[in-house]
Structure 1
Amino acid sequence: MAAPALVALASGFDDPRATSTVSAIVEEVRAVRPDLRVESAYVDAPLKRRGSVASVCDALAKAGHDEIVLVPLLLTESPEAAATVAGAVSTMQERHDSLRVQATPALGLEACFLQVLDSRLREALRTARVRELDALVLAAVGSTDAISNQAVARLARVWGAHHKLPVTTAYAQAAPPAAGEAVRAFRAEGRRHIAVASFFLTPGPLADRAAELALEAGAAAVAEPLGAHPEVARTVLARYAVGAVELVPV
């Protein structure tokens, strides 16, 4: 019996940087588990376009797969994320009523992602030739859900404590402060060497805007989003493993 297919659910279909990053993540997952059928699907792709949830679902069903584990490539749980995932599951099951689909939680705020943040930040500091830091900003997507934002803030505090630096969170939408405001608040305290980490999985308009605002406000360096990384691939597969077990009949 074939293992369930893994579908990495993403957004950013119209941004080639995002699709390139998602493809790289999928390739990392395939490299670790070459025995699995691993595909990416985009919630914002037109219905009949290659890469849409519908087209990926149809292709898997045609290939004989009757079980799918849907892993959302999202870093936080939120009402917006839940609605997105529920819509994808509904689309798949409506198209093929014999298909069993198990959606997993988002990738989440895993402590291992702090290693990825550090790696991306070191790259940015080298490029900007910054050797001294006195504050950190963790820029994230942001949600209308306060609990989701509080979870990001807790992760930021762990990160800041590790580096023994003051840290604050900034959000690209739905909640204050924006990245520029966060940087200006630190500068008002007399801090001049402020770095911003991008807690976004892929490049895109929100990450771009956060970086732009931070640099305008005087940030010394802004890191790239997490992107493809072995820790991201391992987390995707960890979510898949739990989802595959939940598909096993009791």
Structure 2
Amino acid sequence: MIPLVAVAHGSRDPRSAASIHGLLDVVRSLRPELDVRGCFLDLCAPRLSDVLRGPAVVVPLLLGKAYHARVDVPAAVAESRVPAVVTDVLGPDPRLESAALRRLSEAGVSFGDRSLGVVLAGAGSSHAPANEAVARVARRWARESGWAGVEAAFASIASPTVPEAVEKLRMKGATRIAVASWFLAPGLLPDKVASLAGDAVVAQPLGDDVEVAQLVLDRYDFAVARQTVAA
């Protein structure tokens, strides 16, 4: 069985690697017979080159198709000179939304609260389509949640910022604010979001959610099936 190599961005914050390894433990629990290897593009070990030693399916643990997905992962795989297939990133997918909403629920947020405004906070990218993917989720939640409003916000590069999104929600009548996380793991940017959120309720990153783990396996299975058909 071809190995699954899951590659995350990486962070100097040890909580980030711990969260990624926790997610991969869930993946292994769902598919015990599969060789699942975790690694990182930068800032912590192991690196992709350390675990990519032969044919494999590389699953980028990235929520959107920004620079790391479009450039860094393919370049790192090409540099390894092994016959690896790179899958699509995890997003967009309804299961990511479900995971983010579960984290909000765990933080005490419920649907239908007309006094509540929700910020959906992501990393931000110079690649506009990656930001728009997050904004689409926010617009869908705004239509379906019964909250006072939902606004996308970004921790870096893109706008609006978290304070700007909060101000928009206040203008829509929100008297309380919650922040949903569009981050896979803790780290510098999620901490920045929390620091800018004031007295808002801040949900945890998606982390070891079982639906995220199932999504990782789905990306793997789709790539394997395509390889089988091609063969």
Deviation per residue, 1:30-84 (Å, 9 max, x gap): 11111111000111047xxx51112112xxx3xxxx4200000000112342112
In structure 2, the partner of 1:241 is 221
8 Å contact from structure 1 (residues 102, 243) kept in 2: yes
Q: Distance in 1 between matches of 2:115 and 2:108?
A: 10
In structure 2, the partner of 1:51 is 46
In structure 2, the partner of 1:214 is 197
| 1:162 CA drift (Å) | 2.3
**Is 1:111 the equivalent of 2:94?**
yes
Q: Given the alignment, which residue of 195, 199, 209 partners 2:182?
A: 199
In structure 1, the partner of 2:16 is 18
| 1:143 CA drift (Å) | 1.1
Q: Distance in 2 between matches of 1:160 and 1:115?
A: 15
Shift of the 190–132 alpha-carbon distance from structure 1 to 2, 3 Å rule, reads closer
Q: Distance in 2 between matches of 1:80 and 1:176?
A: 19
- Write the letter of the residue equivalent to 1:25: L
| 1:105 CA drift (Å) | 0.7
- Write the letter of the residue equivalent to 1:5: P
**Is 1:6 the equivalent of 2:4?**
yes
Q: Distance in 2 between matches of 1:12 and 1:43?
A: 6
Secondary structure of 1:112's aligned partner: helix
8 Å contact from structure 1 (residues 137, 167) kept in 2: yes
Secondary structure of 1:142's aligned partner: coil
RMSD: 1.8
**Is 1:140 the equivalent of 2:106?**
no
Q: Given the alignment, which residue of 163, 175, 181 partners 2:158?
A: 175
| 1:132 CA drift (Å) | 7.2
In structure 2, the partner of 1:225 is 205
Task: Count residues in correspondence.
Answer: 226
Which piece of structure 1 moves more, 34-43 or 239-248? 239-248
Secondary structure of 2:94's aligned partner: coil
8 Å contact from structure 1 (residues 45, 51) kept in 2: no
Q: Distance in 1 between matches of 2:17 and 2:41?
A: 12
- Write the letter of the residue equivalent to 1:75: L
Q: Distance in 2 between matches of 1:148 and 1:235?
A: 19
Q: Given the alignment, which residue of 130, 145, 150 partners 2:132?
A: 150
| 1:13 CA drift (Å) | 4.2
Which ranges in structure 1 are unaligned for 5 or more consecutive residues? Answer: 94-98
Secondary structure of 1:247's aligned partner: helix
Secondary structure of 2:108's aligned partner: helix
Normalised to the residue count of structure 2, the TM-score between the two structures is 0.91
* Dislocated runs of 4+, deviation >6 Å: none
Structure label with greater radius of gyration:
1
Deviation per residue, 1:71-106 (Å, 9 max, x gap): 00000112342112112212321xxxxx31000010
8 Å contact from structure 1 (residues 15, 204) kept in 2: yes
Deviation per residue, 1:100-123 (Å, 9 max, x gap): 100001001211222211221122
Q: Distance in 2 between matches of 1:160 and 1:188?
A: 15
**Is 1:92 the equivalent of 2:80?**
yes
Shift of the 80–53 alpha-carbon distance from structure 1 to 2, 3 Å rule, reads closer
Q: Distance in 1 between matches of 2:225 and 2:160?
A: 40
- Write the letter of the residue equivalent to 2:122: A
Q: Distance in 2 between matches of 1:78 and 1:189?
A: 31
Q: Distance in 1 between matches of 2:122 and 2:115?
A: 20
